[in-house]
Structure 1
Amino acid sequence: MSRVSARSVIVLGVVGALVTACLWWLAGGGTGPQGGGTPVERAAAPVAEARQLRLGLNIAAGSALHAAAELFAERVAERSNGRLRITVHPDQQLGSDDQMLEMARNGSLDLVLTPTAKLSSAVPAMQYADLPFYFSGRDELYAMLDGEPGELLLSKLGRIDLVGLTFWENGFKQFTANTPIRRPEDFARLRIRTMKSPLIADQFASLGATPIPIDFHATYQALKDGAVDGEENPLVAIVGMRFHEVQKHLTLSNHAYLAYVFSASRKVYETLSPEMREIIRQTARELTLWERQETARREADFIARIRAAGVEVHTLSADERRHFAQVMAPIADKFGFEVGYDLLAKTEELRFAQAARSGEAKGRQPWVLALDADLSARGAQAGGAIYRGAQMAIDDINRKGGLLGAPLRLLARDHAANPMAGRRNLELFASIPSVLAVMGGMHSTVVTEELDDIHRLKMPYLVPWAAAQGITLHDHRPSYTFRVSINDTQVAPFLLERALRRHSRLAVLIEQSPWGRSNEAALRPLLERLPAGNVELVWFQDGDAGIDATVDELVRAGRQAIVFVGNGIEAGVVVKALARQDRPIPVFAHWALVGGDFWGANQARLEKVDLRFVQSVVEEDALRNRSFATFLGNYRQRYGLGNGAPVPSLMGSAHAYDAVQLLARAVTRASSPDRGAIRNALESGVGYSGVMKDYRPAFTPERHDALDRSQLKLARFDGRGRIVPAD
């Protein structure tokens, strides 16, 4: 094929889009590869064992994404000396986005470019770039996607059998409307077309607009008929779908980003040699900058076309962006469980480091509460709950003026249930002068492994969720660990005693870990007083695949109930094994299982199995505790939960809220950011009328546990997944 003109490319792009009835994008000419033959045909001379791969995408031929894909195919062929040949299939030639994703997952499609919106149902974290006004601009967003947050996002694709390579784009989203959009208030009472996304719907509802989900291809008619007043999309889609013909105003807001994930089928990728994998990965990443620049180059032409159509174009000023960002700020935390607190924490950490390096921050620098938590592994829900409770307390403290004349902020790092990661986090936090204290959770194993470091670094350490005795009962003096949670000396006997009220022949299934041994030590005095054989103690390893067989043996042996001390994964295996029984025996469990979405994963089985677990607080406590009722109401409003919706790991949020408030009072009493002075103030009788109880005092030199057995109760899941009293 001879070299074609930019005008010819435009015409071909329009014709192709009309033929396919998919006017998503309008080509604007390109600077991509041209010349005789396709990119693959222009590659090195063919070799005998060339591997043929297919790359599928939904974008029209001639678009920036398509041009980059063709260039990718050409360079891979060159670098592999013809051993890899890639054919590019644009315009959904191989199927819809959903169909191509399924093909890639099962290995029948090799490579795929997918909009993050289409991936977010399977990998909710892909909504990261949809967070409105979350990024300060292009440079910051690109730095995040090309850095650790992006690597974290790509790694999550492994859950659906894809290998993430890089992020390409279709551009930043902009607002169009029939009225000027300059301020958040300008959205009041407007009807805005959205895609079907709770996050995006909440974005516009927060601005006072009415979000109306409408199919992309029906949007033009809805705008023309006045069914909606505006919409958001990248410029390429606005022009390609001719939205500018039925809208009077365009606001260049760059408020969110339509990223495309370049990924490979894991089943295919693993069949390639390491050399070929690296060629694919490195080439895709090298072309990321080219694809972004090409998209931006074409956007200048799109803006000119929109202006030529008589549309008024406004670019948000820095002050206008800041105003929008302030209004939209709560959305990231509100959707933290969907996007992932591990991802949000990493982003905030990088921002904190960048500000420190560049000296960007102005005025009085904030004090820092550091959070060392499981934000991505089996306790991620508990970690997120702690994050939420801490952030709610920090916001309340800052509304009252902050601490020591400056605001307080949260800085979190994920330890992913790995003690070594937790220890590294502690070292980093200790090196930051503005860190006043560290909060840790969940997983007793992590905290107990950190004890030597906590005391070597002389770091006040608050524990809102971890029950091992050794966390506060240890030989370090002075002690820097303070717990607003329950100690196993109370939890384990409470569980066994409650089970013994109804059953005489029990089994105690207990995890072989520091936490498990802490529970066994707490149970030993009670077990020694019971008749021999009444209670059988059975140990299991974390991740034990044979625990279901153990459950079967216990049932056959005539055990009437199980007291379970372990995490949610193993608890799920126990419930599954019992659900198979004709007459399942009941389970009395430690609270660790509510650190994840246990009900969601075991809903059907829980209809058959009587599972009860210990809690320190349930929603019904709001009927008797005004402070808790206020906290719960504020939580539901902040996170958009109706009265009937379950609150994820409520206990963790309530404990964390009180722990931060107690820390604030200790800092105020110490009148100093000195960590030793804060430690001394914490154990000097600081009091507070809190969510969980009236702390008078919370801690003493002899007692670093703020809660006691009087807070314990048995709970269960109701039919909607809410945690309710079981007694």
Structure 2
Amino acid sequence: MRMKRKHITGLLATALMVGGLLAGCSGKEEAAPASGDSKPKKAEFTFRLADNHPVDYPTVIGDKKFAELVNERTDGRIKIEVFPSGQLGDEKSVLEQVQLGAIEFTRINASPLAEFNDDISVLGLPYVFDSDEHLWNFLESEKGTELLDGLEASKMKGLAYYSSGSRSFYSTKPVKSLADLKGQKLRVQQSKVNIDLVSALGASATPMPYGEVFSGLQTGIIDGAENNLPSFDSSNHYQEAKNIILDHHQRTPEVLLISQTAWNKLSEEDQKIVKQAALDSVTTQKEEWAKWEQNSEKKLKDAGVTFTEVEDLTPWKEAVKPAIAQYHDKYKDLLDAIEAVK
């Protein structure tokens, strides 16, 4: 019996040794990375984001913050390369490429998106937002989110809104009041709302590509145009148009978009990461916009541009009422929602 016990004890010891060796070969030690495995993981997806503004413009800075957040939160699995300055084409052609899935992301003004979701037109109606705070109260509401979601039928998905400030009129001629706009030839975007707006204010609406505005001001084809302060500054239009009247007639935001094709490639978890990263990048973009606006105002005033702030918008609002009444009927529910978040 004693011999048998010794034999069994020996077998158990041997088994334990073998088991320990096997565990050492197939357990945690095997899974631990070698010193040469510390290289960054190769991206599963490399996407492109198109923006037509310069590299230091607030929307591009917002784009880059978004890309950075996505890269961090996916541990490098999703890489987004930002292409500013219209490198991938103008806004119209880029938007077409996003619909096709050839370009994955873009940043674009909300106005052209009304072609794909008619309700977005409400964001471009004049004098519907009293301030930036009023605008963002609406954009961040359920109705504002619904406008972004409404783009899915056109093979795009809206991720977030970016700030674009407010638009006002500037001219080569003195503009101190509403009466001074009468008869002036003012460049507008190719938009029925904008044409109706300018005509209702007594001016002559002149649709023209943005790139032709500077020469139009130089040659007198137009007397003025309308835009936000950073664009008035960066376009150099102030070199010809030395007068601006701040009526803040529109506060149309920018939109960060993803192609539905690219969206569908992502897992549900990654979709949530991309969406949240877009929303989180808004703070950076808004901060940069505020800085740029302040810098532009100082630069323009130093360059001799005369600023006139409209103290009472009532006459302006009354002047455009007949022209935009049709839109108020069409977008009643949305306009009620805008009114409710003042």
Q: TM-score higher than 0.5 here?
A: yes
Residue 118, structure 1, aligned to residue 112, structure 2 = yes
Aligned amino acid, residue 219 of structure 2: D
Deviations 1:225-266 (A, max 9, x none): 222222101112211221111112112222212422111111
Aligned amino acid, residue 345 of structure 1: D
Residue 221, structure 1, aligned to residue 236, structure 2 = no
Other-structure match for 1:78: 72
Aligned residue among 326, 329, 333 for 1:334: 326
Deviation at 1:169, TM superposition (A): 3.1
Q: Equivalent residue of 2:158, what SS?
A: strand
Residue 269, structure 1, aligned to residue 248, structure 2 = no
Q: Equivalent residue of 1:238, what SS?
A: helix
Aligned residue among 235, 251, 256 for 2:229: 235
Q: Distance in 1 between matches of 2:183 and 2:128?
A: 24
Q: How does 1:351-362 map to 2 (within 5 A)?
A: 351-352=339-340, 354=341
Q: Distance in 1 between matches of 2:219 and 2:160?
A: 40
Deviation at 1:170, TM superposition (A): 3.2
Larger RCO (alpha carbons 8 Å, 6+ apart)? 2
Q: Distance in 2 between matches of 1:350 and 1:197?
A: 22
Q: Distance in 1 between matches of 2:45 and 2:282?
A: 24
Moved over 6 A (4+): none
Query: Are the aligned partners of 1:175 and 1:233 in contact in 2 as well (CA < 8 Å)?
Result: yes
Change (3 A) 1:116 1:49: closer
Q: Distance in 2 between matches of 1:77 and 1:94?
A: 22
Deviation at 1:323, TM superposition (A): 2.9
Deviation at 1:330, TM superposition (A): 4.3
Q: Distance in 1 between matches of 2:223 and 2:118?
A: 29
Q: Distance in 2 between matches of 1:349 and 1:130?
A: 15
Query: Are the aligned partners of 2:245 and 2:309 in contact in 1 as well (CA < 8 Å)?
Result: yes
Residue 348, structure 1, aligned to residue 326, structure 2 = no
Aligned residue among 101, 108, 129 for 1:107: 101
Change (3 A) 1:349 1:64: closer
Aligned amino acid, residue 336 of structure 2: E
Deviation at 1:321, TM superposition (A): 2.1
Q: Distance in 2 between matches of 1:155 and 1:234?
A: 27
Deviation at 1:326, TM superposition (A): 3.0
Aligned amino acid, residue 317 of structure 2: A
Q: Distance in 1 between matches of 2:263 and 2:65?
A: 20
Other-structure match for 2:32: none
Change (3 A) 1:137 1:329: farther
Superposed CA RMSD in Å reads: 2.1
Aligned residue among 86, 90, 98 for 1:96: 90
Deviation at 1:348, TM superposition (A): 1.2
- How many residue pairs get aligned? The number is 305
Q: Distance in 1 between matches of 2:252 and 2:233?
A: 15
Deviations 1:371-403 (A, max 9, x none): xxxxxxxxxxxxxxxxxxxxxxxxxxxxxxxxx
Residue 284, structure 1, aligned to residue 278, structure 2 = yes
Aligned amino acid, residue 334 of structure 1: Q
Other-structure match for 2:9: none
Runs of at least 5 residues in structure 2 that lack an aligned partner in the other structure:
1-37
Q: Distance in 2 between matches of 1:58 and 1:125?
A: 24
Give TM-score scaled by structure 2 length: 0.83
Give TM-score scaled by structure 1 length: 0.40
Query: Are the aligned partners of 1:55 and 1:86 in contact in 2 as well (CA < 8 Å)?
Result: yes
In percent, how many aligned pairs have the same letter? 23
Residue 209, structure 1, aligned to residue 203, structure 2 = yes
Q: Equivalent residue of 1:171, what SS?
A: coil
Q: How does 1:275-674 map to 2 (within 5 A)?
A: 275-317=269-311, 320-336=312-328, 341=331, 344-349=332-337, 351-352=339-340, 354=341
Q: Distance in 2 between matches of 1:104 and 1:195?
A: 22
Q: Distance in 2 between matches of 1:99 and 1:78?
A: 30
Q: Distance in 2 between matches of 1:48 and 1:262?
A: 26
Aligned amino acid, residue 188 of structure 1: K
Q: Distance in 2 between matches of 1:120 and 1:62?
A: 27
Residue 55, structure 1, aligned to residue 55, structure 2 = no
Aligned amino acid, residue 234 of structure 1: N
Other-structure match for 2:129: 135
Q: Distance in 2 between matches of 1:336 and 1:106?
A: 34
Q: Equivalent residue of 1:88, what SS?
A: strand
Query: Are the aligned partners of 2:196 and 2:324 in contact in 1 as well (CA < 8 Å)?
Result: no
Query: Are the aligned partners of 1:148 and 1:346 in contact in 2 as well (CA < 8 Å)?
Result: no
Q: Equivalent residue of 2:255, what SS?
A: strand
Aligned amino acid, residue 265 of structure 1: S
Q: Equivalent residue of 2:308, what SS?
A: strand
Aligned amino acid, residue 218 of structure 1: E
Q: Which has the higher helix share?
A: 2
Query: Are the aligned partners of 1:101 and 1:112 in contact in 2 as well (CA < 8 Å)?
Result: yes
Q: Equivalent residue of 2:168, what SS?
A: strand
Other-structure match for 2:166: 172
Q: Equivalent residue of 1:114, what SS?
A: strand
Residue 195, structure 1, aligned to residue 189, structure 2 = yes
Deviation at 1:300, TM superposition (A): 0.9
Change (3 A) 1:258 1:205: same
Q: Distance in 2 between matches of 1:180 and 1:140?
A: 30
Aligned amino acid, residue 339 of structure 2: R
Deviation at 1:331, TM superposition (A): 4.5
Query: Are the aligned partners of 2:172 and 2:217 in contact in 1 as well (CA < 8 Å)?
Result: no
Aligned amino acid, residue 322 of structure 1: T
